[in-house]
Structure 1
Amino acid sequence: MFESLLRRLLAPGPAPLPDPDARLSLAALLVRLARSDGDYGPAELARIDAVLCSRYGLSPFEAARLRAEAERLEAEAPDTVRFTRAIKDHVPHEDRLGIIEALWEVALADGRRDAEENGLMRLVAPLLGIDDVASALARQRVEARLP
């Protein structure tokens, strides 16, 4: 499945992805965001797993397995646009704000905002059809929930 997904993501015009592939694309996007600042630590790993558990109803073991698969995909897939396209094609617009909030949860998991993570969020939000204002409001909601 992983190699098939990677081939479809790297194809010039990938066909729409089935739901499990969209799920893997979201997990890979979360990993890419967490890795973007060069510090992929325990807080971010835990936050990715928590997001996957809550979003997809996975057990902690299943979430960790999906994250591990996403880490491999993220390392081999050079194009963030493909991940966002897979998500945009399978997630209704009204649900994409939840994805932006999930991404902000990962970006803020280590307690700081890094330029690399901010830059990736500024790229990803419009690719998902979310404007800067909505993304900033999503970030504020996440910050309000953080301890």
Structure 2
Amino acid sequence: MLKKLQAIFQELAADARMPIKQPALEQVTAALLIQLARVDQQVDNTELQVVEKYVRQAFNVDGAELTELMEDAAKEAESATSLYEFTSHINEVCSPQDKYRIILNLWRVAFADGQVDRYEEHFIRRAAELIYVPHAEFIRAKLEAQEQT
């Protein structure tokens, strides 16, 4: 019995050393933005254009690569069960400035259709909390995005 337990622990330890495939930041961020566009149950084309513009500029992708990234991100957003799926990866690889830009662009998507739904605001607030963006920065991003519309 003891040998069986040791074998199980050794197997688990070997599995833990195997590299885990991490989702690309581009896809995670695009999926988060797309999920926000869907949160009010009305996906507006202008919201998706804002998502594409941000992804194109922030990650320097274009053409077929951008189309594929957006399609993959849309699938990921649709199958997501929580924000944690996106925010955990963002926390691992992003600086505070990167996190601020993500929140700013979430606000840009929310403002794209001319109105911010309460579900959109809640979504952004929750995302900001999960990626440890201070409330003052959350408000600053909102005001900055609002001025740009």
TM-score between the two structures when normalised by the length of structure 2: 0.81
Whether the 8 Å contact between 1:101 and 1:138 is mirrored in structure 2 is: yes
Identify if the C-alpha distance between structure 1 residues 130 and 105 changes in structure 2 by more than 3 Å, giving closer, same or farther. Answer: same
Question: Secondary structure of 1:113's partner?
Answer: coil
* Most deviating of 114-123 and 88-97: 88-97
- Alignment pair present for 1:111 and 2:132: no
Alignment partner of 1:79 out of 55, 71, 82: 82
CA RMSD of aligned residues (A): 1.7
Cα deviation for residue 66 of structure 1 reads 1.2
> Once the two structures are superposed, what CA deviation does each residue of 1:94-134 show, in whole Å capped at 9, x if it has no partner?
32111111111111111111011001011100111112221
Matches within 5 A, 1:58-137: 58-137=61-140
Identify if the C-alpha distance between structure 1 residues 144 and 17 changes in structure 2 by more than 3 Å, giving closer, same or farther. Answer: farther
Identify if the C-alpha distance between structure 1 residues 60 and 41 changes in structure 2 by more than 3 Å, giving closer, same or farther. Answer: farther
Cα deviation for residue 64 of structure 1 reads 2.9
Say which one has the larger Rg: 2
How many residues matched? 131
* Most deviating of 100-109 and 55-64: 55-64
CA distance in 1, matches of 2:127, 2:65: 26
Question: Secondary structure of 2:124's partner?
Answer: helix
Aligned to 2:26: 23
- Alignment pair present for 1:34 and 2:25: no
Cα deviation for residue 76 of structure 1 reads 1.1
CA distance in 2, matches of 1:107, 1:27: 14
* Most deviating of 74-83 and 47-56: 74-83
Unmatched runs of 5 consecutive residues or more in structure 2:
1-18
Cα deviation for residue 62 of structure 1 reads 2.8
Identify if the C-alpha distance between structure 1 residues 119 and 17 changes in structure 2 by more than 3 Å, giving closer, same or farther. Answer: farther
> Once the two structures are superposed, what CA deviation does each residue of 1:3-36 show, in whole Å capped at 9, x if it has no partner?
xxxxxxxxxxxx8764x62221111100111100
Unmatched runs of 5 consecutive residues or more in structure 1:
1-14
Whether the 8 Å contact between 1:47 and 1:105 is mirrored in structure 2 is: yes
